[in-house]
Amino acid sequence: MGFDIRSLWDIFALVGIVVALAPWFGRYLGRVYMDRPLAGDSLLLPLESAIYRLLGTSPRQSMRAREYMLALLGVNLGLIAFLFLFLLWQAALPGDPTGAPGLRWDLALHSAVSFTTNTNFTHFTNESQLSFASLTTAWPVAFFVSPATGLAVAAAMVRGFVRRDGTLGNFYVDMVRSLTRVLLPLAVLFALILVLLGVPQTFTAFVTAHPITGGTQTIYLGTVASFQSASLLGSNGGGYYAANMASPFANPSAVSDLFGTFVMMLIPFSTPFAFSTIVRRKGEAWPYLATVLIVFAVAVGVFIAYQAAANPLVSGIAAIGSQSNGYPVGQEVRFGLSDASLFQVASVYCNVGANNMQIGALSPIGQLDLLFGMFTQATPGGVGTGFGMLLLFGVLAIFVGGLMVGRTPEYLGKKIGTSHVRWAALAILVHPAIILVPTAVAFLGGFVSLAGLSPGASAHAFTSVLYEFTSEAANNGSALSAGQVNDTTPFFNLAGAAVMFLGRYVPIWAMLMIAELFAKEEALPPGPGTLKTTTVTYTLYLTLFLVIITALIFLPVMALGPLAQIVGGH
Amino acid sequence: MAAELPFTVEPGAQVSVRRRPHTSARRVLADSFRYFGLRHQLRRPLMFTVLVLLLFVCVVTVYPRAFPDIAATYHSGYYVAIAIILFLTVWFANLSDAIAEAQGRAQAESLRSIRSGIRARRILPDGQVRWVPSDVLHVGDTVEVRPGEPVPLDGDVIHGAALIDESMMTGESEAVTRESGGDKTSVLGGTRVLQGTVQVRVSAARGESFLDRLIRLVEGLGREPTPSEIALSVLLAAFTITLFIVCLSFVYLADFSGIVTIDLATLIALFVCLMPTTIGALLPAIGISGVNRVARANIIAKSGKAVEASGDLDVLILDKTGTITVGSRLAVQFVTAPGVDAGALLEAALLSSTLDETPEGRSIVRLAARRNATARRLEPGSYKVMPFTPERRMSGLQLQDGTEVYKGALRAMEAYGATMPEPIRRSAADAARQGMTPLAISRNRQVLGLVVLKDVVKPGIRDRIRELRTMGIRTIMCTGDNRLTAAAIAQESGVDEFVAEAKPETKLELIQREKTSGRLVAMTGDGTNDAPALARADVGLAMNSGTSAAKEAGNMVDLDNDPTKLIEVVSIGKQLLITRGALTTFSITNDVAKYFVIIPAIFATAGASRLPGVAALNLLGFGNPLLAVLAALVFNALIIPILIPLALAGVPFRPRSAIDLLRRNILTYGLGGLVSAFAGIWLCYVFLGFLLGVPFFHVAGVFVAHWLPLGGR
Instruction: Kindly list the residues from chain A whose CB atom is less than 8 angstroms away from the CB atom of residue B251.
Output: none
Cα distance between residue B579 and residue A403, in whole Å: 8
Question: What value of ipTM does the predicted structure carry?
Answer: 0.92
- Tell whether the model's pLDDT for residue A454 goes beyond 80: no
C-alpha torsion angle, residues B633, B637, B639, B643 (rounded to 10): 160
User: 3-class SS at B468?
Assistant: helix
A452 touches chain B (CB under 8 A): no
**Distance of alpha carbon B145 from the chain centroid:** 32
Amino acid (1-letter code) at residue A366: G
CA terminus-to-terminus distance, chain A? 21
The residues of B assigned a catalytic role are 319
Task: Give φ, ψ of B462 to 5 degrees.
Answer: -60, -45
* CA-based R_g, chain B, Å: 34
Please provide the DSSP assignment of B294-345 as one string. Answer: HHHTTEEES-HHHHHHGGG--EEEEETBTTTB-SS-EEEEEEEPTT--HHHH
- Binned at pLDDT 50, 70 and 90, residue A104 comes out as very high
Cα distance between residue A522 and residue A409, in whole Å: 15
**Is A217 a member of any domain?**
no
Q: Which residues pair with B123 in a beta bridge?
A: B129, B142
- The lowest-confidence range among B102-116, B176-190, B449-463, B526-540 is B102-116
Helices B565-604 and B658-665: crossing angle, nearest 10°? Answer: 30
- Binned at pLDDT 50, 70 and 90, residue A201 comes out as very high
* CA-based R_g, chain A, Å: 23
Best probe of the A interface among B250, B253, B282, by most A CBs < 10 A, is B253
Distances (CA, A) of B328 to B11, B15, B360, B458: 21, 24, 6, 12
Query: Which domain, by its residues, includes A25?
Result: 5-185+255-280
- Which one is predicted more confidently, B321 or B42? B42
- Tell whether the model's pLDDT for residue A421 goes beyond 70: yes
Cα distance between residue B139 and residue B550, in whole Å: 18
pLDDT of A289-327, one tens digit each? 999 999 999 999 999 988 887 676 666 666 655 555 556
Q: Do B595 and A552 touch (CB under 8 A)?
A: yes
Cα distance between residue B568 and residue A53, in whole Å: 61
**Is A181 a member of any domain?**
yes
pLDDT of B238-271, one tens digit each? 999 999 999 999 888 888 777 778 888 889 999 9
pLDDT of B516-525, one tens digit each? 877 889 988 7
Q: Do B613 and A564 touch (CB under 8 A)?
A: yes
Q: Do A528 and B657 touch (CB under 8 A)?
A: yes
Cα distance between residue B243 and residue A385, in whole Å: 24
CA atoms within 13 A on the CB side of B627: 19
What is the mean pLDDT of the segment spanning B541-554?
A: 77
- Which one is predicted more confidently, A455 or B362? B362
A507 touches chain B (CB under 8 A): no
Q: Which one of A484-493, A513-522, B53-62, B542-551 scores highest in mean pLDDT?
A: A513-522
A532 touches chain B (CB under 8 A): yes
Cα distance between residue A466 and residue A480, in whole Å: 9
Please provide the DSSP assignment of A203-256 as one string. Answer: S--EEEE--TTSS-EEEE-SSHHHHHHHHHHTT----SSTTGGGSTTTS-SHHH
Instruction: Kindly list the residues from chain A whose CB atom is less than 8 angstroms away from the CB atom of residue B610.
Output: 455, 567
Cα distance between residue A346 and residue A344, in whole Å: 6
What is the mean pLDDT of the segment spanning B649-655?
A: 85
Sign of the torsion angle spanned by Cα atoms B278, B281, B287, B288: negative
Nearest CA in chain A to B584: A400
- Binned at pLDDT 50, 70 and 90, residue B20 comes out as very low
User: 3-class SS at B129?
Assistant: strand
Residue from B669, B659, B658 nearest B312 by CA: B658
Q: Do A568 and B309 touch (CB under 8 A)?
A: no
Residues 6+ apart with CB under 8 A from B200: B142, B143, B144, B145, B151, B155, B156, B157, B158, B187
A422 touches chain B (CB under 8 A): yes
Shortest Cα–Cα distance, B670 to chain A (Å): 10
Residue from A145, A83, A146, A115 nearest A496 by CA: A115
> Is residue B447 a contact partner of residue B407, using CB atoms and an 8 Å limit?
no
State residue A569's pLDDT score: 40
> Is residue B318 a contact partner of residue B486, using CB atoms and an 8 Å limit?
no
CA atoms within 13 A on the CB side of A285: 23
> Is residue A383 a contact partner of residue A147, using CB atoms and an 8 Å limit?
yes
What is the mean pLDDT of the segment spanning B327-334?
A: 76
What is the mean pLDDT of the segment spanning B476-489?
A: 82
Picking from B256, B311, B582, the nearest residue to A407 by CB comes out as: B311
Cα distance between residue A502 and residue A472, in whole Å: 10
Q: Which strand (E) or helix (H) includes residue A414?
A: strand A414-415
State residue A302's pLDDT score: 94
User: A-B interface: how many C-beta pairs under 8 angstroms?
Assistant: 227
Cα distance between residue A352 and residue A475, in whole Å: 8
Best probe of the A interface among B244, B259, B267, B538, by most A CBs < 10 A, is B259
Cα distance between residue A462 and residue A472, in whole Å: 16
Q: Do B518 and A522 touch (CB under 8 A)?
A: yes
**Is A33 a member of any domain?**
yes
> Is residue A13 a contact partner of residue A335, using CB atoms and an 8 Å limit?
no
CB atoms < 10 A from the CB of B62, how many?
12
Order across the sheet with B198-202: list the strands.
B129-133, B119-123, B142-145, B198-202, B155-159, B186-187
**Is A26 a member of any domain?**
yes
What percent of chain B is predicted at pLDDT more than 70?
Answer: 85
State residue B86's pLDDT score: 95
State residue B712's pLDDT score: 31
State residue A334's pLDDT score: 80
Q: Do A553 and B242 touch (CB under 8 A)?
A: yes
- Binned at pLDDT 50, 70 and 90, residue A243 comes out as confident
How many structural domains comprise chain A? 1
Q: Which residues pair with B526 in a beta bridge?
A: none
A444: burial class by Cβ within 10 Å (0-12, 13-18, 19+)? middle
Q: Do B659 and A527 touch (CB under 8 A)?
A: no
Residues 6+ apart with CB under 8 A from B4: none
Order across the sheet with B521-525: list the strands.
B299-301, B556-558, B539-543, B521-525, B315-319, B474-478, B497-499
**Is A503 a member of any domain?**
no
Instruction: Kindly list the residues from chain A whose CB atom is less than 8 angstroms away from the CB atom of residue B249.
Output: 436-437, 439-440, 557
**Is A437 a member of any domain?**
no
Cα distance between residue A469 and residue A501, in whole Å: 12
What is the mean pLDDT of the segment spanning B154-179?
A: 76
What is the mean pLDDT of the segment spanning A506-527?
A: 91
Residue from B530, B560, B463 nearest B317 by CA: B530
Q: Do A437 and B245 touch (CB under 8 A)?
A: yes
CA atoms within 13 A on the CB side of A372: 26
Q: Do A552 and B591 touch (CB under 8 A)?
A: yes
- Tell whether the model's pLDDT for residue A460 goes beyond 50: yes
Amino acid (1-letter code) at residue A30: G
Cα distance between residue B407 and residue A28, in whole Å: 68
Residue from A338, A297, A329, A298 nearest A311 by CA: A329
State residue B181's pLDDT score: 77
User: 3-class SS at A410?
Assistant: strand
> Is residue B82 a contact partner of residue B56, using CB atoms and an 8 Å limit?
no
State residue B15's pLDDT score: 34
State residue A207's pLDDT score: 84
Q: Do B659 and A535 touch (CB under 8 A)?
A: yes
Instruction: Kindly list the residues from chain B whose CB atom is less than 8 angstroms away from the CB atom of residue A433.
Output: 242, 245
Strands B474-478 and B315-319: parallel
Cα distance between residue B424 and residue B336, in whole Å: 8
Q: Which residues pair with B399 in a beta bridge?
A: B383
Distances (CA, A) of B64 to A292, B55, B262, B627: 50, 13, 16, 21
User: 3-class SS at B439?
Assistant: strand
**Is A527 a member of any domain?**
no
> Is residue A309 a contact partner of residue A326, using CB atoms and an 8 Å limit?
yes
Picking from A400, A418, A551, the nearest residue to B234 by CB comes out as: A418
What is the mean pLDDT of the segment spanning A147-164?
A: 96
A 345-384: CB under 8 A from B? 364
Q: What is the mean pLDDT of chain A?
A: 89
Instruction: Kindly list the residues from chain B whose CB atom is less than 8 angstroms away from the CB atom of residue A453.
Output: 258
Cα distance between residue A341 and residue B673, in whole Å: 36
- Binned at pLDDT 50, 70 and 90, residue B172 comes out as low
Cα distance between residue B254 and residue A440, in whole Å: 9
Q: Which one of A348-352, A527-531, B450-454 scores highest in mean pLDDT?
A: A348-352
> Is residue B450 a contact partner of residue B335, using CB atoms and an 8 Å limit?
yes
State residue B525's pLDDT score: 78
- Binned at pLDDT 50, 70 and 90, residue A567 comes out as low
**Is A564 a member of any domain?**
no
What percent of chain A is predicted at pLDDT more than 90?
Answer: 61
- Which one is predicted more confidently, B110 or A360? A360
What percent of chain A is predicted at pLDDT more than 70?
Answer: 94
User: 3-class SS at A315?
Assistant: helix
Residues 6+ apart with CB under 8 A from A476: A119, A121, A237, A348, A351, A352, A353, A374, A377, A382, A470
State residue B171's pLDDT score: 53
